[in-house]
């Protein structure tokens, strides 16, 4: 059994904001305990340093003759090389910079041959469920009870129906379970289908080799890889990405234009129309280099041990119900989704924040079909919730609380979380909270906490329960 004192620490990877103190609703302040890495991770210090170094040199890329422009172009293309190496891509794989994983999946959906047949499990994040519907035939397989059941369901489907693309996650953003991507890919290739890997949750936590897994496409987000500057990536085979008109049409994606004809340029520029996010791409490249140099195996082991400790601590609280898709022995990372019996998930999240300085996520985590399955929501309840939402009522939408770990996480953070949850379960909140029916979120009322003095506009609202990818 793990104990706090026996767990490793990753002390030499510095993160921006890791010592930030936040005010408590009951008075005083505490170090912010970030247990929301699966939604968005803070910036690595190396990333922030690189961005600060680049800003005075920043200029337009690719066609500028000025010194700054040429240097910015070199930095942008250097980031492409760094990302290619981090994911161990094939020599001819194309690296396209995008905004995030959702953008990458929509780009790929537009690039597939028309009327392709796509299959995905209903346990996927919305970024890997929704983009295919607009253009292609999509089949959703149910939430599998084991990794073996996932493979069996996929093979049954592929034996009976033509499949061009299998869309699958690397790690569930709800349960933290590691999916059998290599086995899924081998099965898909056996039936002549390609595979796109949603690596948004996988890339920051475990080694990812495109060559080793043999996936055809991979999508990832910088904001989950400690580079929150608005860039993501789609990597993969160039044939689909280079055919037809590009996903976005505009300057930079062309060689020549008349009012009658367009000559689209070659990859990757073909899929990067408009002025690219140079700062974001460079940030992502530096994050990739930093994580690779540190050792992804080392990071993965650290987070597996912390995750097991977190499940042990929360599991010892009688009022806590934890959710998982697969048996307990399945490989999983540092992510725990749970509810505290007798308390709304949004209220628990609000209490953790206001009274303990702990940041978590609550809601359905952009994975509604999976959450409805885990929570065992009946069809009648689903219809009722849908009708309420159509009427603008968010007050009783089902959901849960999620804690997720990353580079800055420690056993002390987990202990603080467990103690706070036990206090909530045994004694309830120490403050008064109000439900906003228009959002379904609780917030402290009144809220006397001071607002920090910053040089940008603020428009306060209660935090939502979704997340981006």
366 is catalytic: yes
Q: Cis omega (within 30 of 0) on the bond before 230? A: no
Indicate the pairing of strand 254-257 with strand 262-264.
Answer: antiparallel
* Nearest Cα to Cα of residue 220 among 135, 160, 268, 280: 280
Cα 94 from Cα 110, distance rounded (Å): 16
Judge whether 8 and 411 are in contact, CB under 8 Å. no
Given 94, 143, 364, 366, which residue is catalytic?
A: 366
Active site residues: 366
């Amino acid at each position: 059994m793990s104990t706090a004192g026996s767990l490793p620490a990753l002390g030499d990877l510095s993160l921006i904001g890791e010592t930030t103190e936040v005010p408590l609703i009951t008075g005083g302040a505490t170090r912010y305990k970030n247990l929301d890495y699966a939604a968005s991770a803070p910036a690595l210090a190396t990333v922030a340093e690189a961005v600060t170094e680049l800003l005075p040199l920043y200029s337009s890329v690719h066609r500028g003759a000025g010194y700054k422009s040429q240097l910015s172009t070199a930095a942008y293309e250097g980031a492409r090389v760094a990302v290619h190496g981090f994911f161990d891509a094939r020599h001819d794989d194309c690296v396209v910079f995008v905004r995030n994983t959702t953008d990458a999946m929509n780009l790929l959906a537009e690039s597939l041959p028309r009327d392709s047949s796509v299959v995905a499990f209903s346990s996927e994040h919305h970024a890997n469920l929704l983009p295919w519907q607009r253009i292609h035939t999509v089949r959703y397989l149910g939430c599998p009870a084991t990794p073996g059941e996932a493979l069996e369901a996929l093979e049954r489907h592929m034996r009976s129906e033509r499949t061009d693309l299998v869309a699958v996650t690397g790690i569930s953003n709800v349960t933290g379970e590691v999916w059998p991507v290599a086995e899924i890919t081998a099965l898909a290739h056996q039936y002549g289908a390609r595979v796109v890997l949603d690596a948004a949750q996988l890339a920051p936590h475990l080694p990812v080799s495109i060559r080793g897994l043999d996936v055809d496409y991979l999508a990832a987000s910088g904001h989950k890889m400690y580079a929150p500057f608005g860039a993501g990536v789609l990597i993969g085979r160039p044939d689909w990405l280079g055919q037809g008109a590009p996903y976005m049409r505009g300057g930079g994606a062309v060689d020549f234009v008349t009012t009658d004809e367009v000559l689209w340029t070659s990859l990757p520029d073909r899929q990067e129309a408009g002025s690219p996010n140079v700062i974001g791409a460079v940030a992502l490249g530096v994050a990739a280099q930093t994580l690779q140099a540190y050792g992804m195996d080392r990071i993965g082991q650290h987070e597996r041990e912390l995750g097991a400790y977190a499940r042990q601590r929360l599991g010892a609280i009688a009022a806590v119900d934890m959710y998982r898709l697969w048996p307990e022995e399945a490989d999983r990372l540092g992510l725990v989704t749970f509810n505290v019996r007798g308390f709304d998930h949004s209220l628990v999240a609000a209490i953790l924040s206001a009274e303990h300085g702990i940041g978590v996520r609550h809601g359905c985590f952009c994975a509604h079909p999976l959450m409805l399955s885990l929570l065992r929501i009946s069809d009648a309840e689903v219809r009722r919730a849908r009708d309420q939402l159509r009427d603008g009522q968010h007050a009783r939408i089902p959901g849960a609380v999620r804690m997720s770990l990353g580079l800055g996480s420690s056993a002390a953070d987990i202990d603080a979380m467990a103690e706070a949850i036990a206090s909530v379960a045994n004694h309830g909140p120490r403050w008064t909270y109000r439900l906003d029916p228009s959002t379904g979120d609780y917030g402290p009322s009144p809220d006397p906490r001071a607002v920090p003095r910053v040089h940008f506009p603020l428009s306060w609202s209660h935090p939502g329960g979704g997340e981006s990818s």
